């Protein structure tokens, strides 16, 4: 009698373990001479006992090995000469399944199965993509304006706003997207809006915020930690590196990406968006019937959020973002928290046409002062 139990034998997945298990079945059957009794003792079905006893009687221990489940006849299998063409195009020319599929008129799935069947683990490995990690947790940064959590918010959410406000926003063609820069240590925020999500709008937002910080004497490199949205450059590493070098670094900023699926890295800006819904959009959106009125309300909301609203998150202890900023050594006036809330769509076009560097000129426009 073997020293280990049937349950332990089932855990053996290699060939030797399976044969030991099946020999145990045969030995038990030999001892008692009954299929039913063998099944009862080993807690398995009689069909299983019958199967391995029959195979043992026919072929001995060799009959206890796994047999191929491949059918004797496969009328729908791809012809051998076609499989050879697929393999030749893949190995000699380096073509992928989509290009092979188009060239030979085969479904992509068929090409994929042929390559897997013949090449298996020996297929060419994809080159590891470059990333913009490591990302930062907000609590890791003690000094303000070293890490910013940046995100966009789609305001047009019927489940949040309700049908009436959702229809109001669409009817009056109010801005749909909110752009948020949240300073990770103090939760101080700067906002902008747009009708469209675009990379140009995103880069213009970077230039405006960084110019505002530099104008108030805040030096040092700022990590712009963003998600993987197309408005921030998408997922192509070379393109992101180009954006970082050409548009972020000249302003003393660095493009960073929070890992996919790890929303905790952007937890503070995500939570602030919920506050926007509860304390601004739901009670105030119905009062705005023009974009100009909407932006003025958003300007007041941003100022209240930064200067008048107490925060009770980790380390805030009921202080406002501006009070926390001063506590950390940046004694800035309330005007600093009044970043001009603007509509990016029009400004971004002018900004891009002028080369993207004369940013402070936008704050000298008459309407910018009116929004403040």
What backbone torsions phi and psi does residue 61 show, to the nearest 5 degrees? -65, -25
Cβ atoms of 268 and 182 within 8 Å: the answer is yes
Q: What is the pLDDT of residues 302-359, one digit of tens each?
A: 999 999 999 988 888 899 999 999 999 999 999 999 999 999 988 887 777 665 444 4
Per-residue pLDDT of the chain (372 residues; tens, 9 = 90+): 344 454 554 455 566 778 888 888 999 999 998 999 998 888 889 999 999 999 899 888 888 888 887 777 778 788 888 888 999 898 888 888 888 988 888 899 899 888 888 887 445 556 665 555 556 676 677 788 998 999 999 999 999 999 999 999 999 999 999 999 999 999 999 999 999 998 899 999 999 999 999 999 998 899 998 888 888 887 778 888 888 888 899 999 988 888 777 778 888 999 999 999 999 999 999 999 999 999 999 999 999 999 999 998 888 889 999 999 999 999 999 999 999 999 998 888 777 766 544 443 443 333 333 333
Cβ atoms of 230 and 199 within 8 Å: the answer is yes
Please tell me the distance from the alpha carbon of residue 315 to that of residue 129, in angstroms, as a whole number.
37
Q: What is the pLDDT of residues 103-150, one digit of tens each?
A: 888 899 899 888 888 887 445 556 665 555 556 676 677 788 998 999
Rg (CA), the chain: 33
66: helix, strand or coil: coil
Helical residues (DSSP H) of 158-253, grouped into ranges = 158-161, 163-171, 199-215, 237-243
């Amino acid at each position: 009698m073997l020293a280990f139990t049937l349950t332990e034998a089932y855990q053996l997945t290699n060939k030797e373990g399976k044969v030991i298990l099946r020999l145990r079945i045969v030995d038990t059957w030999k001892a008692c001479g009954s299929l039913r009794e063998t099944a009862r003792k080993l807690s398995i079905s009689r069909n299983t006992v019958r199967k391995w006893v029959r195979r043992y009687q026919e072929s001995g221990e060799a009959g206890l090995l796994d047999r191929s489940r491949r059918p004797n006849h496969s009328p729908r299998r791809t012809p051998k000469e076609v499989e050879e063409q697929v393999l030749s195009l893949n190995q000699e020319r380096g073509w992928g399944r989509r290009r092979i599929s188009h060239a030979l008129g085969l479904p992509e799935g068929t090409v994929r199965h042929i390559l897997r069947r013949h090449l298996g683990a020996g297929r060419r490995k994809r080159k590891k993509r470059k990333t913009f990690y490591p990302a930062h947790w907000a609590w890791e940064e003690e000094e303000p304006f070293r890490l910013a959590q940046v995100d966009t918010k789609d305001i047009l959410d019927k489940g949040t706003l309700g049908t009436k406000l959702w229809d109001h926003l669409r009817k009056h063609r109010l801005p749909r997207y909110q752009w948020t820069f949240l300073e990770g240590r103090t939760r101080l925020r700067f906002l902008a809006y747009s009708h469209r999500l675009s990379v140009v709008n995103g880069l213009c937002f970077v230039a405006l915020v960084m110019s505002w910080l530099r104008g108030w004497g805040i030096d040092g490199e700022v990590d712009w930690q963003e998600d993987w949205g197309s408005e921030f450059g998408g997922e192509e590493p070379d393109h992101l590196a180009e954006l970082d070098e050409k548009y972020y670094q000249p302003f003393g900023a660095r493009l960073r990406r929070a890992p996919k699926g790890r929303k905790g890295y952007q937890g503070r800006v995500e939570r602030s968006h919920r506050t926007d819904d509860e304390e601004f959009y739901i009670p105030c959106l119905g009062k705005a019937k023009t974009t100009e009125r909407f932006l003025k309300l958003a300007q007041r909301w941003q100022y209240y959020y930064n200067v008048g609203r107490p925060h009770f998150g980790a380390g805030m202890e009921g202080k406002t973002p501006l009070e926390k900023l001063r506590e950390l050594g940046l004694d800035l006036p309330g005007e600093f928290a009044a970043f001009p809330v603007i509509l990016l769509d029009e400004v971004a076009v002018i900004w891009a046409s002028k080369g993207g560097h004369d940013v402070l000129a936008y704050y000298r426009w008459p309407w910018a002062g009116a929004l403040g």
